[in-house]
Amino acid sequence: MKKLVVHELLRHTLLSRPESEIVSGDVRLPYAQMYDRVVRLADRLGRMGVGQGTVVGVLDVNSHRYLELHYALSMLGAVIHTLNFRLAAEDLAYTIRHAKDEWIFAWEGFAEAVRPLRSTVSRWVWMGDGADPEDGALTYEALVAEGRLVEPDGADRIDEADPYSIFYTTGTTGRPKGLMYRHRDVILASLQIAHHLALYRTGASVGTGDVFMPLIPFFHIHGWGSAIFVPYLGAKLVLPGRAGPAEQLALIRREGVTWSNMVPTQMQMLLDAAGDEPLGLKVLTGGSPLSSGLAQAARDRGVTYSLIYGGSDQLGASISVVPEHVDPTSAEAGRILATRTRPLPMVEIEVRDREGLAVPRDGKTIGEVWVRSPWLPQGYYNDPERTRESYVDGWFRSGDLAVLEDDGTLYVVDREKDAVKSGGEWIPCGVLESLLSEHPKVIEAVVVAKPDERWGERPLAVIRPRTPISPEELRAYLGGLVDAGKLTKFWVPDDFVFLDNLPVTSAGKVHKVSLRKMLGLA
Amino acid sequence: MKKLVVHELLRHTLLSRPESEIVSGDVRLPYAQMYDRVVRLADRLGRMGVGQGTVVGVLDVNSHRYLELHYALSMLGAVIHTLNFRLAAEDLAYTIRHAKDEWIFAWEGFAEAVRPLRSTVSRWVWMGDGADPEDGALTYEALVAEGRLVEPDGADRIDEADPYSIFYTTGTTGRPKGLMYRHRDVILASLQIAHHLALYRTGASVGTGDVFMPLIPFFHIHGWGSAIFVPYLGAKLVLPGRAGPAEQLALIRREGVTWSNMVPTQMQMLLDAAGDEPLGLKVLTGGSPLSSGLAQAARDRGVTYSLIYGGSDQLGASISVVPEHVDPTSAEAGRILATRTRPLPMVEIEVRDREGLAVPRDGKTIGEVWVRSPWLPQGYYNDPERTRESYVDGWFRSGDLAVLEDDGTLYVVDREKDAVKSGGEWIPCGVLESLLSEHPKVIEAVVVAKPDERWGERPLAVIRPRTPISPEELRAYLGGLVDAGKLTKFWVPDDFVFLDNLPVTSAGKVHKVSLRKMLGLA
């Protein structure tokens, strides 16, 4: 490759690992053959008018076609809009309108769900192995078949700073916010994840000999960069489509998968599917805290892990590592890997107070996480107001609360808007949730703010029990942790609520706003 | 860091590994303290007129001051000219004039040798721990002491595409050629060496826990990138100054060095110094072929190695790796690591015939190595003619002869101008030299072209014997290799010459032009 432009990454792979395979459903596609399909698709689309700046929505599970679109649209200078299939149709339509999508590529498995969206764009392409659709839409395989094996004219003129992709992040409040990523942002952010995992001692180490199966959907920052860094490594890539936990497990065993990424909920489901059988796998996880119970269950099954901290508005920022003085097989290493992260190489992370001054690196002073990196997005798409709030002097204000240790280790304790402000002090719900979830009778614990006349707010713990448990038992348990110096007494919740089901967001995280509504707190 | 600008690399290190040390002579400098010295030096130099585009020559062995200059000059937008202290004074003076150096920083240990150069520039700074020089020149430590702890105003405005450094490559013919590297070239090329070593199975793997001691002088592409990638890793860095092999060995043991880089000659000297004692060390080597005898001696002493292929006019291109199906501890792995390389991630390597067409990837068809990468220099400095010859359509024509295997593995057999053209076919001297040097009675073998009426050229072997050996013995030895299918019969030299000393270049390689002159062949 000559420039940091996405499709150019494939040039190295084509020469150095042409036979390495992509496995997707029944398809086994060496990179050399994938490259041919990418070129044919790009040629066909180019002749149909897709070009520099055309926004193309893609709605698919992780498949070889979705991967190919990552590179074919790059060759045309088009912008890939990775659509979040977990969004409600109405929100999805909003993001399509806001990004001005002209085309949509949709997996036929979503046909029923997305039919209302058909009219939102002028060109609709079905992806799948099915027969030609009755509705007269185009099919992906026909486009590939009609394409010539000639790279589009402009492919070499795409610039590093040209827009490559757009994604909408859904907070718990307000409309989705768009993030436009440049080619170089996506390349640098993705590759630095792989480089960090290779350079540091992590629980999700990567090398060119690994077999990768990303469970993080490509819509979410290109599967946390895996749609970019796996082809860069020329490594074997297994794409799970809509496989459920049991099928994922079968794929892992059949294809010799050694590495995956997933949120903790997916990890829990995969471990449940595996039962007592060992599962040797390296996992990059994140998105929500990894409870110590789940972490222990993973270690028991031979699953090693690292935690990634970041998000679509800052991209990858930090990943957990085993410090040099700690035995990587020890329980301490397991605890650190599940909770503490260190900046990716090239990234600067500061924890600042309300005045914007760095807090002491003492492992206890809580402040807000500020991040600077070469791949920081330029701001929210067409949203100058929210951009000004979050992107300040070249830094991104994350809105996350954390402490820094003296060696630069970051411990994110909570989202600022999720934390409880009590008597002028932050009470990080994440810490409480993690400790509560370690209780053997607890599956999951969520702590939310409850209005309080005296303190402003006080923490309320919502418990999803494994077996019946009383508030007294939990109070006694937390009291023990206070006595052991592991918990601040003032943080112990006054109230406990027990629920068997918790409301979740489209990303599978507990939806605290809904939860507080359910409890009559908001 | 926000951009791919050299001094910005330190920002990450400053936050994430501030206590990690640089060891240089009696000095132990944590990165945080080095950063302070860098800022003070930059401040002082800035106020003395060093600024955007000022060319500053540096003549030093690998020291902490040389390392600091890499970052301080970056902050000012100045261009660091890494002077080759092995050049004759006349050639050195030529490069200083051609690059238009305005300042020179010289190590006081070179005082005698470089006195004639004093008048070539307006500002001269001595580096060392000695007393103030009598000649009224400035001293490095005084400049640091006089500087304020304030980053220069323009430090944040340096651009990735601004020139960062200049170096002159000395061929065996013609005047030295200048290469101007941009910030991003130096960063990407350096880091990709580290990333390759971390991602592939190599004999010189790197991680943040390694302790590095580069023996490749910083003048040579910044110590093969180590002046850049070691601070990037925040790893402990041991700078050997002018330590000889015995002192290098003592440093390795005292400081716990795990990784080094060196040419094969340096490796031989280090192994000689170690005697029979094991030396556990990971070594990146290159610059000239690694003979199988030396490779075996290294393995016997617990030294693992990888070979790097590249040069100052293309920067790093490829490094040897152990293929996935080969046991890394096997003799086969040792042989592959000593001879075959694979492209660095992002690099494209093609082997082309005279018409510029790719030769078959069959492991035997010889062609010229063409390289493309994001860090390819823009051409030779102020030398459009030689630039046009070597930089073609975004590719660099290396002038090296090689074969490609079907999996993209590269085996460089010779420099084109060193190879023998016999009966219209290339005879790669490197292959012959490697086989001859495996004979127990041979220390070193060099093959050069001898004019021949019938064939145009025929190979002549120059042998540096360990114990007396006859041409008949060598012919019989090579004949056995022909019979075993390891050597083409036509390649066997007609003549053998025995010499106890061979002429070498400033880089420690055999100077074939001089050798041919000595032998009356040119």
In this predicted structure, what is the pLDDT of residue B171? 61
Backbone CA torsion sign across B283, B286, B287, B291: positive
CA distance A156 to chain B (A): 11
For the record, the structure tokens of B449 come out as 């072209």
Structure tokens at A331: 């329980």
Residues in chain B closer than 8 A to A347 (CB atoms): 12
> Which contacts qualify for B516-519: CB closer than 8 Å, 24 or more apart?
B516/B448, B516/B449, B519/B448, B519/B460, B519/B462
Q: Write down the mean pLDDT value for chain B.
A: 93
Interface contacts (A, B; CB < 8 Å): 108
A315 neighbourhood in chain B, CB within 8 Å = none
Task: List CB contacts (< 8 A) between A19 and chain B.
Answer: 407
Residues of A in contact with B346 (CB under 8 A): 1, 9, 12, 232
Chain A closest-CA separation from residue B258 CA (Å): 14
Residue of B nearest to A160 (CA): B374
Q: Which of A333, A342, A325 is nearest to A305 (CA)?
A: A333
Q: Which helix (H) or strand (E) holds A349?
A: strand A348-352
Write the class of the CATH domain B419-522.
alpha beta
Which residue does chain A place closest to B198, by CA atoms? A198
Taking the C-alpha atoms of residue A168 and residue A146, their distance in angstroms, rounded to an integer, is: 32
A15 contacts B349? CB cut-off 8 A:
yes
Chain A residues whose beta carbon lies within 8 Å of the beta carbon of residue B372: 1-2, 11
What gap in Å lies between CA B116 and CA B91, rounded to an integer? 12
**B55-109: per-residue pLDDT in tens?**
999 999 999 999 999 999 999 999 999 999 888 788 899 999 999 999 999 999 9
Domain boundaries, chain B: 6-339, 419-522
Question: Which one of A4, A8, A16, A211 would you mutate to disrupt binding with B, by most B Cβ within 10 Å of its Cβ?
Answer: A16
Q: Which residue of A has its CA nearest to B233?
A: A345
Collect the ranges in chain B with pLDDT lower than 50: none
Which of B197, B199, B361, B372 is best to mutate for the A interface (most A CBs within 10 A)?
B199
> And the tokens for A50?
């897709």
Residues with Cβ within 8 Å of B435's Cβ and at least 6 positions away in sequence, in order, are B478, B481, B486, B487
Q: If you ran DSSP here, which 8-state letter would residue B174 be given?
A: S
Distances from the Cα of B308 to the Cα of A75, A157, B221, B379, angstroms? 32, 31, 13, 22
Cβ(A406)–Cβ(A400) below 8 Å: no
Q: How far is A328 from chain B (nearest CA, A)?
A: 13
Q: Tokens for B162?
A: 């601004």
Here the tokens at position A204 are: 């999700």
Rg of chain B (C-alpha set) = 23
Q: Which of A15, A236, A309, A395 to mutate to test the interface with B (most CBs of B within 10 A)?
A: A15
Identify the burial level of B406 via C-beta atoms within 10 angstroms of its C-beta, where 0-12 means exposed, 13-18 middle and 19 or more buried. Answer: exposed
- Pair of tokens at residue B188: 């990407």
Strand partners, A261: A214, A284
Q: What is the rounded CA–CA span in Å between residue B411 and residue B422?
A: 21
Residue B421 DSSP symbol:
E
What dihedral angle (degrees, nearest 10) is formed by the CA atoms of A3, A7, A11, A17? Answer: 130
Query: How much is the pLDDT for B507?
Result: 61
- Give the span between the Cα atoms of A220 and A427, in whole angstroms: 30
- Rg of chain A taking only CA atoms, in angstroms: 23
Strands B281-286, B55-59: pairing kind = unpaired
Please answer yes or no on whether B15 and A373 come within 8 Å at the CB atom. Answer: no
Neighbours of A97 (CB within 10 A): 11
Residue A191 in contact with residue A232, Cβ under 8 Å?
Answer: yes
Tell me the residue type at B499: L
Cβ neighbourhood burial of B120 (10 Å; 0-12, 13-18, 19+): middle
CB A144 within 8 A of CB A44: yes
Per the CB < 8 Å rule, is B347 touching A12?
A: yes
- Mutation site for A-interface testing, chosen from B193, B206, B346 by largest number of A Cβ within 10 Å: B346
Q: What is the pLDDT of residue B87?
A: 83
Which amino acid does the sequence have at B99? A
pLDDT in tens, B329-366: 999 999 999 999 999 999 999 999 989 999 999 998 99
| Whether the Cβ atoms of residue B164 and residue B190 lie closer than 8 Å to each other | no
| Pairing verdict, β A123-127 and A138-139 | parallel
Low-confidence stretches of chain A (pLDDT < 50) are none
Chain B residue numbers touching A394 (CB-CB < 8 A): 2
Q: Which chain A residues have any C-beta within 8 angstroms of a chain B C-beta?
A: 1-4, 9, 11-12, 15-19, 191, 194-195, 198-201, 206-209, 232-233, 321, 324, 342-343, 345-350, 372-374, 376, 394, 407-408
pLDDT of residue A173: 59
Do B1 and A233 lie within an 8 Å CB cutoff?
Answer: no
Write down the pLDDT at residue B424: 76
Interchain contact, A206 vs B199, CB within 8 Å: yes
Residue with tokens 């170096």: B167
C-alpha pair distances (Å), A271 with each of A150, A197, A274, A304, B359? 46, 23, 5, 12, 50
Which chain A residues are within 8 Å of B342, Cβ to Cβ? 16
* Per-residue CA distances from B263 to B173, B216, B217, B277 (Å): 22, 7, 10, 21
Q: What is the dihedral of CA A271, A275, A281, A282, to 10 degrees?
A: 30
The CATH T-level fold of domain B6-339 is Rossmann fold (3.40.50)
At which residue do the structure tokens 């939102």 appear?
A120
Tell the residue number behind the tokens 């022909």, with chain if given.
B482
- Confirm if B42 and B75 have CB atoms less than 8 A apart: yes
- Please state the pTM of the whole predicted model: 0.90
pLDDT digits (tens, 9 = 90+) for B144-202: 999 999 999 999 999 999 999 999 987 655 788 999 999 999 999 999 999 999 999 99
pLDDT at A137: 87
Å from B163 to nearest chain A CA? 17
Three-point CA angle B163, B167, B170, nearest 5°: 150
CATH code given to domain A421-522: 3.30.300.30
- Indicate the residue of A2, A208, A349 with minimum beta-carbon distance to B372: A2
Buried b (16+ CB within 10 A) or exposed e, A359-392: bebeeeebbbbbbbbbbbbebbbebeeebeebbe
